[in-house]
Structure 1
Amino acid sequence: MSKWTSAIGIAVMIAFLSMGGTVRAADDTTYSQNEILAKAEGFFGSTTKGLAEGIGKVFKDQGQPVGYIAGEEFGGAFVVGLRYGRGKLNRKLGKPQQVYWQGPSVGFDFGGNVSKVFTLVYKLDRPQDIYRRFPGVDGSLYVVAGVSLNYQQAGKTILAPIRTGAGLRAGINVGYLHYNSEHSWVPF
């Protein structure tokens, strides 16, 4: 074997190994679908078919998240609505971070609900970037119990809240959620 062939072989091996390192580094900062299903099961107490399908849809649409928010919220509406919540932002690197959210909505929406919320977080470079307004369109139907899913986006960051709730709330609305580091009753 010539020196030239050996050099090419070593260069190819180094390139191959460095690509594998890049793939592993990406996996170290994102959650797989199985990891998220396990986290959701721990949070909700069990995994229903609807919840598993919702998580599967988000993974199909968005890929692997860099984090998730596990929390609870309550809200109500009669044409104009309000929503308040709190939870913890979890990322693979770093400790959980407290997050509060609140926001108004308007639309054909009525009723009230209390929900557990498991939000998948995408393209969030720094944890503090979560603290801003995320507009969204929400269509919900909670009758005794159910699962709803919508997307919210601000800049390149995408949130996918998955809600399981109890109460009677039905409709479709447009609004935003403002995520903060401190609780506030002011929804704007």
Structure 2
Amino acid sequence: MDAWHRSSTRRDLFRLAATAAASAALPGVAHAARPESYTSGEIVENGHHFFGSISRGLAEGLEQANKKWGRPNAYILGQEAGGAFIGGVCYGEGEMFTRNAGRRRVFWQGPSLGLDAGADGDRTMMLVYNLPEIDAIYRRYAGVNGSAYLIGGLGFTALNNEEVVVMPVRSGLGARLGVALSYLKFTQNSTWNPF
């Protein structure tokens, strides 16, 4: 084997090793994969650990959502706070989990407008349906939000952006009553701007 051929083979091996090392070291490489879906049992179990003893209400809401949109392929666990008097705002943060595309820190904020008054602080689980890839969460999702509880409660809302549906499940403390048009904007970094 001549010197040029040995050098070429070493270069190819070095390139292959460098590519493999870069793929393993970069967490963003997995973001192109479509997340795999979760079963209802997995979501209810994770919700039970997150919320505590409200898994029956979660199971019933999840059953209805799964009939409409299939199985979620991501979910977010976090907390949020909000308030409204006709116009309102909410802010939240959490972590998005996927089965095969990794985890991602997410922040959300958004305005609301409607017949809505009160303030609340919530533990929030958001089920995400039809997410094509992990970075697709960073958009605005619009819908109608309804709340009715004093001291505590469990609420479901459905927000969408084209084919992707985000269903926040909130277990909160506070006093809130009303119905409002709202949207949530998901971002990679925290911001005070709800728009």
Whether TM exceeds 0.5 here: the answer is yes
**Who is 1:30 aligned against?**
37
Q: Could you tell me which of 36, 56, 60 is aligned with 1:49?
A: 56
Q: Tell whether the 8 Å contact from 2:44 to 2:55 is kept in structure 1 after alignment.
A: no
TM-score calculated relative to the size of structure 1: 0.82
2:153 and 2:58 map into 1 onto residues whose CA distance is 9
Deviations 1:42-94 (A, max 9, x none): 11123343222222221222221111011110000000000000111110013
- Matching of residues 74-89 of structure 1 within 5 Å: 74-89=81-96
Q: Could you tell me which of 75, 78, 81 is aligned with 1:71?
A: 78
Deviations 1:131-160 (A, max 9, x none): 011111001112111111111111211111
TM-score calculated relative to the size of structure 2: 0.79
2:168 and 2:70 map into 1 onto residues whose CA distance is 15
1:126 and 1:94 map into 2 onto residues whose CA distance is 8
| 2:119 aligned with 1:112 | yes
Q: What SS does structure 1 have at the residue aligned with 2:53?
A: coil
The alignment-based identity, stated in percent, is 38
- Matching of residues 95-174 of structure 1 within 5 Å: 95-174=102-181
Return the letter of the residue paired with 1:86.
E
Q: Tell whether the 8 Å contact from 1:142 to 1:167 is kept in structure 2 after alignment.
A: yes
Return the letter of the residue paired with 2:157.
N
**Who is 1:187 aligned against?**
194
Return the letter of the residue paired with 1:184.
T
Deviations 1:14-66 (A, max 9, x none): xxxxxxxxxxxxxx811011111111111112334322222222122222111
The runs of 4+ residues in structure 1 deviating greater than 4 Å are none
Q: Tell whether the 8 Å contact from 1:67 to 1:92 is kept in structure 2 after alignment.
A: yes
- RMSD across aligned positions (CA): 1.2
Return the letter of the residue paired with 2:149.
Y
Return the letter of the residue paired with 1:150.
T
2:189 and 2:116 map into 1 onto residues whose CA distance is 27
Return the letter of the residue paired with 2:37.
T
How many corresponding residue pairs?
Answer: 161
Unaligned runs of at least 5 residues, structure 2 = 1-34
Unaligned runs of at least 5 residues, structure 1 = 1-27
